[in-house]
Amino acid sequence: MNKTPLLKIKDLTVTYPCGPQGKDEFKALDQVSINLNAGQIIGIVGESGAGKSTIGKAILGLLDPPAKVVNGDITLLDNPLIGLSEEQYTSIRGEEVGYIYQNPMTALNPVLTIGEQVIEAIEANTNMRGKSAYKHAIDLLEQSDVSFAEDRLKKYPHQLSGGLCQRIVFAIAIAAKPKLIIADEPTTALDVTVQQSVLQTLIKLSKQEQVAIILITHDIGVVAETCDYVYVLRNGKHIEQGITSDVLQRPTQDYTKSLMASVPLIEKRLHRFALKQQDNAEDTSRGLQYLREKEKTESLTKGPILEVCNLSKIFITPSSMFKPKDLFTAVNNVSFTVNRGETVGIVGESGSGKSTIGRMILGLEDITEGSVIYRGKDLKSIIDNKERQKHCLSMQCIFQDPYSSLNPRMSAGENITYGLKAHKLIDGNKAKSLAQDLMSLVGLKKQDADKLPHAFSGGERQRIGIARALSYRPDFIFCDEPTSALDVSVQASLLNLLKDLQEQFSLTLLFVSHDLAVIRQMCDQVIVMKDGVSMEMGTNENIFKQPKSPYTKSLLSAMPVFNP
Amino acid sequence: MITYICKRLWQSCILAVIMSLIVFLGMYVVGDPVEMLADEDWTEQDKIELAIELGVDKPLHEQYFSFASDIVKGDFGTSFVYNRPVLDLITERLPATLEIALLAMVIGLGIGIPLGIFSGIKSNSRASKVISFFTTVGYSTPNFWQAIILIMVFAVFLQWLPASGRGLTNSMFGIEWSLLSIDGIRHMVLPAVNLAIYKICMQQRLAKSGTQEILYQEYMVYARAKGISRSRIIRRHLLRNILIPIVTITGLEVGGLIAFSTVTETIFSWPGIGKLLLDSIHMVDRPVVVAYLILITLMFVVINFVVDIMYAFLDPRIRHQK
């Protein structure tokens, strides 16, 4: 093996000025060193804010101003990279180092054809021009497993799926046969089956062409499947490094250990994630009491609380200037039953119609066909407005994106109680103390009720969202990918919280996720969906241990396996 | 596509009818054309005869219906003042306005967009701040004042350029154009620049804010990561994306320039269509005003239609909208 490393990063420190007049600085990276040889795949893992992407951008001189490198060296084959001019970098970018961007849909320019974007990269980084560049583009796409290559070159990014776009970004990265590829979260935006094939292509490339790859990711499963060597970062600091299997299975640092404990496993269902119990000094009893005061109109016997019968949803796009009317069947004849106190999970890839089902149950989306029977009553049959309101208030929702689902101009407390106030279920004086009680119940600080949402982290915001849903004392909560925007450790603690709440109040949850491992940990019953059709339905153990449908099997086999 | 065009046409017909009603009523309220045209020594009998001749003796709704049915036949009526077909009057004047309007728009886009992109990319530089200062001033001082300053500097003090009239014209396709003679172009410069100042400022601001927004999109960073040259990134990746809002505004602005360059045309005595409108309103020359405004309405409909098509051309996402 080559003794001099291909890429050498030594004591790299990157800072952002912050505070008034930029006097303070925030260290995005703090004394990080990395070595990489040809043909090696290294993983850089960490949670958001760890500075993973900053490494990739620093190598290519793409740091957004005002960020700057204050210390350290980056050398590529003994040539220093720090301090090059934009022109000098142009000859490195694309030619020596290929870059695969996190989100393929936003990395490609929406108004230019795929062909133009591939060919401009070829012409910029190789000697090929015109016809030969066009031929090379077709070759590259075929190498990257893009079918109908010639036809795809004429298309625009929005006409292709995320997976195809990612493969095109991939084709651009290998256009000039670079020695190093930086892949920044290359599979985060993709479904598991697509993720699998993208990772396979990366591995193939490093084995056959001796390309070195830096894989930046937060997904431990991906690292376990792909990387030879791994670096763990946290808040810009180097925590641990080593051979992948060593670091993942025998972590030596506390942070790495807790990170590993947070990863949801697909192999077996745990009761809770083994996180350190945080001392919750806050008094949660009043919040608990509020939730228990629920009118006992119905007995809490086990039995179906929700029945979904032959539910279908067809979206109609009206005709426009360039297109005739278009019909799209999002949900096709789906039926299932949810028992009181149970968690039912709907799992499927993007576009499978899983969220649409939940939205129809809540009445956020009109039902095209079929019926939703909740607490023995079909929503459509209720004519009395008061009764309908009562009916609807006991169904609540936790939304996918904690950043956009809270009103940014209302304080956390107001966000939790404004719905109650609108329905005159509580008067203004009590609202504030209720918000505080609920906040301590979901693990937030009471005194933070007056802060605006932007002062909270993503995980904390999602807790506010949970508190808001709980404020109605619901029987049923629809959780629409509640943790998909969050880091694994945050996800683990939120899932623990949901489980605790469910045990205490016999809540019924409908849990939608694309993440099989999360569904495995959370749900009693599982429904697997594809293209609006329910492929398979069964208990957690049955689906994960003896899947019957070939689609479920393919999903399960595509999941990256991580076994600590 | 065809249903869309039909829908558009139907909407514009309704718009034209409403427009003509409003203008017809408005002009009725403004004054009596007979009083404007009559000499002081006319008798009542003379005035009545004139009224009958012009057709203004009938009730208003009858006047409107005879006017409307003539329009449907393609006859826009006869001017009270000039006693000539309105359409002739308008088509005679239109080329003069088109000339300076289009020249002004070309200057506005040609200078405004590059300035805007530059100040968007180098938004922290001193040059960018100076540019933005001047465009703010240009945007907020009144048009007529700018015209007077232009005349003072270039026509009076420096005596480089003529301050009024159209100069020599040459004919092409049977229409007289100032663009075709050196003297005509010299006459065009000041009014066109006067109209263009406002457009330069507007385009600079639009292009600047567009650039600052697009510059931080991920595909711009990714384009750099691909190793493409800077000029290509600006030409293909940036320009194409900022053009969409610019096209919208430019469409409306072209319409505005053609229809309402009245102030500039008056100051520079440019014999365009705007000056015709002003004179006609003054003389209560109802057929001219009504026909003019109906034509303008139709022109805006056409411009908006062209803008919609441009959108689809510029942004494939609109073209393939599901």
- Cβ contact A392:A494 at 8 Å: no
Average pLDDT (B26-36) is: 72
Q: Do B322 and A93 touch (CB under 8 A)?
A: no
Side-chain half-sphere exposure of B198, counting CA atoms within 13 A:
21
Query: What gap in Å lies between CA A431 and CA A433, rounded to an integer?
Result: 6
For chain A, say whether B312 makes contact (Cβ under 8 Å): yes
Shortest CA gap B120–chain A (Å): 15
How many domains does chain A fold into? 2
Residues recorded for chain B:
322
For chain A, say whether B4 makes contact (Cβ under 8 Å): yes
Give the per-residue pLDDT at B34. Answer: 74
Shortest CA gap B200–chain A (Å): 26
Q: Do A110 and B236 touch (CB under 8 A)?
A: no
Side-chain half-sphere exposure of B190, counting CA atoms within 13 A:
31
CATH for A127: 3.40.50.300
Query: Taking CB atoms and an 8 Å cutoff, what residues of chain B touch A91?
Result: 227
Q: Do B226 and A120 touch (CB under 8 A)?
A: yes
Domain end, chosen from A262, A296, A312, is at A262
Tokens of A132: 């030969």
Give the per-residue pLDDT at A490. Answer: 83
- The answer as to whether A564 is a domain residue is no
Using DSSP's 3-state secondary structure scheme, residue A527 falls into strand
Region at A74 (left for phi over 0; alpha for psi -120 to 50; beta for the rest): beta
Shortest CA gap B118–chain A (Å): 17
Tokens of A7: 């890429």
Query: What gap in Å lies between CA B108 and CA B199, rounded to an integer?
Result: 5
Query: What gap in Å lies between CA B261 and CA A518, rounded to an integer?
Result: 66
Query: What gap in Å lies between CA A348 and CA A330, rounded to an integer?
Result: 13
Are residues A318 and A245 both part of a single domain? no
User: Does A547 sit behind a cis peptide bond, omega within 30 degrees of 0 on the bond before it?
Assistant: no
Mention every residue, 6+ apart, whose C-beta is less than 8 A from residue A30. Answer: A13, A51, A235, A236, A237, A238
- Residues A224-248 have pLDDT tens digits of 888 989 999 888 888 888 888 888 8
For chain B, say whether A326 makes contact (Cβ under 8 Å): yes
- The answer as to whether A2 is a domain residue is no
- Residues B149-173 have pLDDT tens digits of 988 898 888 888 887 777 777 777 7
Q: In which domain, by residue range, is A65 found?
A: 7-262
Report the mean per-residue pLDDT for chain B: 82
Rounded to an integer, what is the distance from CA A234 to the centroid of its chain? Answer: 19
Confidence band of B322 (pLDDT split at 50, 70, 90): very low
- The answer as to whether A280 is a domain residue is no
Query: What gap in Å lies between CA B75 and CA B67, rounded to an integer?
Result: 9
Using DSSP's 3-state secondary structure scheme, residue A425 falls into coil
Confidence band of B201 (pLDDT split at 50, 70, 90): very high
Domain end, chosen from A226, A247, A262, is at A262
Are residues A246 and A364 both part of a single domain? no
Say whether pLDDT at B174 is over 70: no
- The answer as to whether A80 is a domain residue is yes
Tokens of A20: 């008034």
Are residues A296 and A161 both part of a single domain? no
Shortest CA gap B295–chain A (Å): 25
Are residues A50 and A148 both part of a single domain? yes
Residue ranges in chain A modelled with pLDDT below 50: 1-2, 564
Rounded to an integer, what is the distance from CA B170 to the centroid of its chain? Answer: 23
Query: Taking CB atoms and an 8 Å cutoff, what residues of chain B touch A103?
Result: 218
Query: What gap in Å lies between CA B217 and CA A212, rounded to an integer?
Result: 28
Say whether pLDDT at B71 is over 80: no
Are residues A341 and A460 both part of a single domain? yes
* A323 → closest Cβ in B222, B228, B321: B321
- Cβ contact A403:A454 at 8 Å: no
Separate counts of helices (H) and strands (E) for chain B: 15, 2
Sheet architecture: strand order including A326-339: A326-339, A304-317, A369-374, A377-378
Query: Taking CB atoms and an 8 Å cutoff, what residues of chain B touch A323?
Result: 320-322
Average pLDDT (B266-291) is: 83
Say whether pLDDT at B321 is over 70: no
- The answer as to whether A1 is a domain residue is no
DSSP per-residue string spanning A286-315: HHHHHHHT----S---SSEEEEEEEEEEEE
Shortest CA gap B316–chain A (Å): 6
Tokens of A376: 């023995």
Are residues A160 and A309 both part of a single domain? no
Percentage of residues in chain B having pLDDT higher than 90: 7
- Cβ contact B251:B303 at 8 Å: yes
Query: What gap in Å lies between CA A301 and CA A455, rounded to an integer?
Result: 42
Contact residues, A window 141-170, toward B, CB-based 8 Å cutoff: 156, 158-159, 169
Q: Do B226 and A86 touch (CB under 8 A)?
A: no
Burial of residue A99, with CB atoms counted within 10 A of its CB: 0-12 exposed, 13-18 middle, 19 or more buried: buried
Q: Do B227 and A92 touch (CB under 8 A)?
A: yes
Mention every residue, 6+ apart, whose C-beta is less than 8 A from residue A168. Answer: A104, A108, A114, A117, A118, A141, A144, A146, A152, A160
ipTM over 0.85: no
Tokens of A217: 């990711």
Are residues A187 and A326 both part of a single domain? no
Tokens of A101: 């961007």
Give the per-residue pLDDT at A1. Answer: 46
- Cβ contact A41:A213 at 8 Å: yes
- The answer as to whether A267 is a domain residue is no
Separate counts of helices (H) and strands (E) for chain A: 21, 20
Say whether pLDDT at B125 is over 70: yes
Using DSSP's 3-state secondary structure scheme, residue A58 falls into helix
Give the per-residue pLDDT at A296. Answer: 53
Residues recorded for chain A:
564
Give the per-residue pLDDT at A279. Answer: 54
Are residues A439 and A317 both part of a single domain? yes
- For chain A, the helix, strand and coil percentages under 3-state DSSP, each to the nearest 5: 40, 25, 35
Q: Strand pairing of A326-339 and A377-378?
A: unpaired
Q: What is the set of domains in chain B, with CATH numbers? A: 86-214+244-319 (1.10.3720.10)
Query: Taking CB atoms and an 8 Å cutoff, what residues of chain A touch B240?
Result: 109, 111-112
Shortest CA gap A203–chain B (Å): 21
For chain A, say whether B314 makes contact (Cβ under 8 Å): yes
Are residues A553 and A426 both part of a single domain? yes
Are residues A391 and A531 both part of a single domain? yes
- The answer as to whether A467 is a domain residue is yes
Q: Do A111 and B314 touch (CB under 8 A)?
A: yes
Are residues A249 and A386 both part of a single domain? no
Using DSSP's 3-state secondary structure scheme, residue A30 falls into strand
- The answer as to whether A337 is a domain residue is yes
- Cβ contact A340:A300 at 8 Å: yes
B162-to-A48, A300, B150, B152 alpha-carbon distances in Å: 66, 93, 11, 11
User: What is the 8-class DSSP label of residue A110?
Assistant: T
Are residues A294 and A215 both part of a single domain? no
